[in-house]
Amino acid sequence: MIRKVTFAVSVLLLVPGQARAADLMDNQMAAGRSIVKGRVAVIDGRTLWFASARQLVRLSQIEGCELPQWAFDPKSTHPRDGSLTPVPCGALAKAWLKRTIGNRVVRCSVGFRAKSGVVSGKCSAAGRDLAHEMLRVGWARLTTPFGNDNGYSEAQGDAVAARNGMWATYVLDMTEWRRKAIDQTTGRRPLADLNLLSERRSGISPPFADMRRQPARRDR
């Protein structure tokens, strides 16, 4: 019996580093925090895939156009039929996030884990807060009326005032889009989103306010 106990203690002493690492990870997860770090693939304007960790991470506090979603330029129309020019807001958001990251290592401090397995976190590349950058250029919006740190609400306010990114377009609120869009594949056509805009319940960008201020008649 003494020989068995001595062997067990010896085994534990051989792997102190692993035991400490496990304890550290348990403590981090217990506190609701964990660190994911590495190179990423950009899935859309707010979602990253860490292949080495096999983990999807969504930028916390923001959302943007879904990848198949279209917006429309109020100042540009088709020369033949006068229809509004479509803007691939989901694809443009993804492209800007991808450009911001480049080939840099991304570091995310993650917390909440959804049932889908996707976690939300604050992520940065080369010291640049990725959520703040997306708000700054107007390809994302806050999920709550006010950002609770890092100047998020100020960044969004500046983007809205300057009409950067999606704020210069007619764009359907993303929550409403996800609820109503039947086809959410990348083959979605602009006309589908134009139809959704015609029956919208809310307009989130300044051009909607401009439209409401237009005179009902222009013949006098």
CATH number of this structure's domain 33-208? 2.40.50.90
Beta carbons within 10 angstroms of residue 137's beta carbon: 20
Whether the per-residue pLDDT at 212 is higher than 60: the answer is no
Q: What angle do CA 162, 164, 165 make, to 5 degrees?
A: 165
Q: What pLDDT band is residue 81 in, cutting at 50, 70 and 90?
A: low
Check: CB of residue 76 under 8 Å from CB of residue 84. Answer: yes
Residue 209 corresponds to which amino acid?
Answer: A
Residue 154: strand pairing partners? none
pLDDT digit string, tens, across residues 96-153? 999 999 999 999 999 867 677 789 999 999 999 999 999 999 999 999 876 566 799 9
pLDDT digit string, tens, across residues 55-66? 999 999 999 999
> What is the end-to-end Cα distance of the chain in Å, rounded?
103
pLDDT digit string, tens, across residues 188-198? 999 999 999 98
29: helix, coil or strand? helix
CA 133/CA 147 separation, integer angstroms: 13
CA 1/CA 213 separation, integer angstroms: 88
pTM across the whole model: 0.78
C-alpha distance from residue 70 to each of 96, 98, 112, 148 (Å): 16, 19, 29, 29
Looking at per-residue pLDDT, the higher value among 3 and 217 belongs to 3
pLDDT digit string, tens, across residues 1-36? 444 434 343 433 333 333 333 333 333 443 456 999
Give, as one character, the DSSP assignment of residue 165: G
Give, as one character, the DSSP assignment of residue 203: B
pLDDT at 19: 35
**Could you write out the DSSP letters of every residue in 111-163?**
EEE-TTS-EEEEEEETTEEHHHHHHHTTS-EESSSS--STTHHHHHHHHHHHT
